[in-house]
Amino acid sequence: MSTRSEVLLWAQRVLAKKSAPAHELLEIAASSSSEDAQGAFHKIARLAHPDLHRNALTADDLDTVTRAYSVAAGAYQAFRGQAMQTLRMRPLKPEDIRAAAGSGRPAAAPVPVTPSGPAPLGGASSQMTPKALTYYRKAELALRRGDLKGALLQLKMAIATDPQSAFLRTALAEVEIEVLKGP
Tell me which fold the domain 3-85 belongs to.
Helix Hairpins (1.10.287)
pLDDT by 10s per residue, the chain, length 183: 788 889 999 999 999 998 899 889 999 998 888 888 899 999 999 999 998 988 888 999 999 999 999 999 888 888 877 766 555 544 545 555 455 445 444 444 444 444 444 444 445 555 778 888 888 888 888 888 888 888 888 888 888 888 888 888 888 888 888 888 766
Angle between helices 130-145 and 166-181 (to 10 degrees): 20
Element (H, E) at 60: helix 59-85
Domain ranges of the chain: 3-85, 94-181
Model's pTM, two decimal places?
A: 0.48
CA distance 84 to 67: 26
The residues, any chain, with a CB within 8 Å of residue 56's CB and separated by 6 or more, are 3, 4
